[in-house]
Each structure stands twice: as structure tokens, then as C-alpha cells.
Amino acid sequence: MAQTIGGRIREIRAQKGLKQSALAKLVGISPTYLNLIEHDKRAVAGKLLSVFANALETDRTLLVRGATAEMIEHLQQSARQVPSTYNAPTAELDEIEIFTTRFPGWASVLSHQAQTRKRLESLIEILSDRLSHDPILSETIHIMLSNITAIRSISELLVMRGSMEEAKQKSFIQNIFQESKRLSVTAEKLLLQFDPAQAGKAEVNEAPTQRASHNLARPKAKTPSDSEALPSLNLPEAIKNAPAFLRAQEVITRQALHESFKAHHNQPFLIADHFGLPASLVFYQLLSLSGQEGLPDYGLLAVDNAGGVLYRHEIGTMRLPSRSGACPRWPIYRAFGATGEPVLQRMSFITGETYQAYAIAQTRKRDFAQLVPVSQSVMLFHEAQTDDPTPFAPPDVAVGFHCSVCNRTDCTDRREAYALFAD
């Protein structure tokens, strides 16, 4: 294959048995000019290149040496990402083929950089997502900002002290000392979150559940037929391939689920009973219809009996743990106390949000050799409405996200000190 655009034009023309004069006529240029192009004495790009591609019945990008369609696309994307401000550089997009032809090495470097940038942006998005969705991380940062606020405010007062009494100055200096010590402790705790060894382990645990959570496609807004099967969820393989789950997908149609939902006042345990299916499977099916046709927005959390997170789907301000346990007062953990028994609970957060939650724990498999049952607990939840038509009155329990970031100082279930007050 020829190494230049001109050479490739000549090559393809010859393959098609076209004379220079014939192709020149098709393209609308003189044979002399075509001869110059074919011998790379004249550049060809833009509209003329498209005309050549049409005349030779080939793809425009195939005429461009050393530049694949993918590379051109990367360069175009990179050029479009430059903000259109007064002094911003402008790329000559209509001459991109000339650029990639004449400077394939530079084009390759730029394309590589564009891809690297895209990858890094994606990484930033993931880290940013982690920051805002990991309650421990975000609350630790909240505490650090409080520490910093105190230090900054006191420092400013000391710098502009004017006629500040000596005793007051000493008190403020002592406060800065105390607050900076607390800041150090909080910062160390935060660093543990990013410890390479810990982070490596976390990724192993987090990857499948996070992937599943991110890939959980909200069903598209459309008018489904009543008998249509429920949208499939991108769930972990262990759940998706479980025989009971596959059976549930056959049994529960959209119409049947809606009818049952209305008849049973949005009570997932009664719906499960209606279909004769395990409640946890009905939870996943309801999640697939989240927010549609009068149903509330559902969130879901699945954990094993060590508290490890198997699956998570957040809604509203309800933050779920990424890896380990949250508040021991959450019904998902209480459910382990009576495997197979339904747990209904209203979860009241100190920030004022209230969620209606349904949880059940089940023994997934039993290792008879070791006599160790392996259980899982699943919790479905949605924002509680004051006018919920449910005839049930579940207990309203004050909860938090995690002891280290919970300021319910009167909680009797605390297992760890609130980080802000920890010595």
C-alpha cells in the first residue's frame, strides 16, 4: 500500500482501471493537477478529498496515510474540548487529514495525549463520585473543614489582635494548638482511606458491587405493554444466575407486579407472599421499576453476614457504605438477628430525612462440613411519605450513617467515638 495520499489515489485508480484523464474529469480538475496530486506535489484535503473518495468509491479516511479514523476522531474530540474563549487556540479541523498525513508522528502523539486526558478525566469522575458517595470520606472531610475553620478564624483574630488582652491571646494560641492536633488526627484517619495497601484490597471488594451499581440502568421512559417482562438489571452474576431469580423473572410481569403493588399498599413482603417468591428477589424486581408509574424511587443494599457490601443502589441523600458496615441500627443488620423474618422500619436521620425500609436476611448456603451458614441480608428502601397508605406502622428508629461521623451523642449503640469529639 502506498505511503502518501497521492500514492494511494494513484494505486486505487489503477486498481479500478481508470485513466488519469477519466478520474480528473470525475473529480472536476485538470489531468495535470491530478498528476501533481498523485506525485505528492500538491496537497489534497477537505472537500476535494471527499470528492476523490466518492469518485474512487472508497472511504475518505482510507485515503489518509497513517491516520486511522479513530486517530482523526481523537484529534477532533481534543480540538472541540478547547473552550471557545477569545485567545483560545483554534485547530484547523478542515485540514486534519493534511496534518495527519504530513506529520503522522505528531498526530499520533496528540492522539495519544487526547486519549490519556479522556482516561484521566474518567478517573477524576470516579474519584469525585467516591468522594461524594462515601459517607465516611465525605464526613471526615467535613470534620477537617471544621478544624480548619477554627484555626483560620482564630489565626485571623490573633494577626489583627489590636488591643486583645494577653489572657485571651494565650487562650486562642492554646485553641490553635488543640485544634491543629485534632486536625492531624483527622488527617491521619483520612489518609488511611487512601493507604495503597488498603485501597488495593478495597478495589477487590468494591469492584463488582460498584460496577453493578454504576451499570444499573434506569429503565427508559417508554410506554410498556402490560405483559412486557421487567427490565433486566445488571446485577452480580451470583444473583442474576440464581435459579430462584430466573424463575422470578418468568413469573413476575410488569402488569402483575403493578396490580400486586396497588393491592398490597406498596408492601414488598405482601407482594412477595402474593407471588410465592423470596422477598429479596421481589426487592430487586421492584428496584427495576423504580420511579415508574406511581412507584417510589427505590434504593437497595445487599450485604453478607460480615457486613461486606454485595450490591448497592443509592437514592436521594441516602448514602450507602461502599465496603463495610454502616449504622448498626439499620434494619439490614437487624435482620440477621432473625433470619427469614421480615423487618420493617422507618429510618430517621438527624438531617431530617426519613426512609421507609424493608429488610430480610436469608441463609444463602450452608457449609455442612464446617457447620457455618453463610447469610445475606437485603434492604429495599424509599423516601417515607407522611401519607403512605400502608396500614402498617413500622417503628421509627433514629439512625446515622456510621458512628465515626454520627453526632447523636445519646446513642446507646455507639461502637466508635464521633470523630469531631475524639481525643
Partner 1 sequence: MTIISIVEDEPFIVEALSYLFELEGWAVHILRDGADAAEQILEQQPALIVLDYMLPNKSGITVAREVRGAEAGETIPILMLTAKGQAKDRQLAHLSGVTQFMTKPFANAELVASVKEMLQNANPR
Whole-angstrom distance, CA of residue 377 vs CA of residue 304: 6
For the chain, the farthest-separated pair of C-alpha atoms sits apart, in whole angstroms, at 100
Q: Roughly what angle, to the nearest 10 degrees, separates helices 166-193 and 135-159?
A: 160
387 φ/ψ angles, rounded to the nearest 5 degrees: -105, 30
Q: Which of 15, 54, 113, 178 binds partner 1 (CB under 8 A)?
A: 178
Q: Which of 142, 201, 262, 415 binds partner 1 (CB under 8 A)?
A: 142
Q: Does 412 bind partner 1 (CB under 8 A)?
A: no
Output the smallest distance, CB 326 to partner 1, in A.
Answer: 17
Q: Which of 87, 223, 351, 412 binds partner 1 (CB under 8 A)?
A: 351
Output the smallest distance, CB 135 to partner 1, in A.
Answer: 12
Q: Which region, judged by CB under 8 A, interacts with partner 1, from 6-14, 211-219, 253-261, 402-410?
A: 402-410
Q: Residue 99 burial (CB < 10 Å; 0-12/13-18/19+)?
A: buried
Whole-angstrom distance, CA of residue 98 vs CA of residue 128: 39
What is the SS3 assignment for 371? coil
Q: Residue 95 burial (CB < 10 Å; 0-12/13-18/19+)?
A: middle
Output the smallest distance, CB 142 to partner 1, in A.
Answer: 4
Whole-angstrom distance, CA of residue 127 vs CA of residue 188: 19
Q: Which CB sits closer to partner 1, 172 or 275? A: 172
Q: Which region, judged by CB under 8 A, interacts with partner 1, from 9-17, 120-128, 136-144, 378-386?
A: 136-144
- 69-79 residues labelled b (16+ CB within 10 A) or e (exposed): eebbebbeebb
What Cα–Cα distance (Å) separates residue 265 from each residue in 228, 361, 399? 22, 22, 25
Fill in the per-residue mask, 12 to 41: x = in contact with partner 1 (CB under 8 A), - = not in contact: ------------------------------
Q: Which CB sits closer to partner 1, 145 or 191? A: 145
Q: Which of 146, 292, 339, 362 binds partner 1 (CB under 8 A)?
A: 146
Amino acid type, 218: R
Q: Which of 3, 21, 132, 198 binds partner 1 (CB under 8 A)?
A: 132
Q: Which CB sits closer to partner 1, 176 or 344? A: 176
Q: In what order do the strands lie in the sheet with 309-313?
A: 309-313, 299-304, 372-383, 354-367, 343-349, 396-399
Q: Which of 150, 185, 202, 295 binds partner 1 (CB under 8 A)?
A: 150
Fill in the per-residue mask, 304 to 343: x = in contact with partner 1 (CB under 8 A), - = not in contact: -------------x--------------------------
Q: Which region, judged by CB under 8 A, interacts with partner 1, from 26-34, 89-97, 172-180, 242-250?
A: 172-180
Q: Does 169 bind partner 1 (CB under 8 A)?
A: no
User: What residue ranges bind partner 1 (CB under 8 A)?
Assistant: 132, 141-143, 145-146, 148-150, 152-154, 156-157, 168, 171-172, 175, 178-179, 317, 350-352, 407-410, 420
